[in-house]
Amino acid sequence: AVKVMHESFQRDMDYCRRFHAEALSASRLDHPNLTRVLDFGQEPDGLLYLAMEYLDGQSLRDVLNEAPNQRLPFARVAQLMIQVCSGLTHAHARKVVHRDIKPENIVLTNGLDDDGRETEIAKVCDFGIAHGAMADQAAAFAGTPEYMAPEQLRGEPPDVQSDVYACGVVLYELLTGRVPIE
């Protein structure tokens, strides 16, 4: 899958610098529960691109929307959130913060477990690259308000705890069918 950045960002040197830095960080992540970045760059005409592994699946939001009462069974939720947390632990150990964990940024695909059995695999995608263009203060506030930690809403820069908070909101929503604070 190839993500192409909007033309307006191509002339913003600060955006290009941050895009390259964040894309480089994301490309160094290699975990089965994170979408792999395969390549990134800028074409001679200024086009910024990010090539990622193609995910043949559904977003967790789509799965929730199809579920009875927009809730998932506890066992499935536990399995999915363990995978999400595992992927984020890998990213956090490499000082990469996602900044926008929400059901839309988790894709469920089919794959094989360690024993070769078919299983559902959660893949965290969209690692904050789009937020890199903003000034640090604006980047702190970038995200989806229902999933943002209180300190992030106060304008403090997002960090590991911001992702942990957002995971808690997603967990709550998967089990109850609604976010804790609207």
Residues with catalytic function: 100
Residue 88: which residues within 8 A CB-CB, separation 6 or more?
98, 101, 124, 163, 164, 167
Closest among 119, 138, 120, 122 to 130, alpha carbons compared? 138
- Which region holds residue 98: left if phi is over 0, alpha if psi is between -120 and 50, else beta? alpha
The rounded distance, in Å, linking the Cα atoms of 66 and 124 is 20
Q: If you write DSSP's letter for every residue of 122-165 in order, what string do you get? A: EEE---SGGGGGS-HHHHHH-S-GGGS-HHHHTTPPP-HHHHHH
Residue 116: which residues within 8 A CB-CB, separation 6 or more?
none
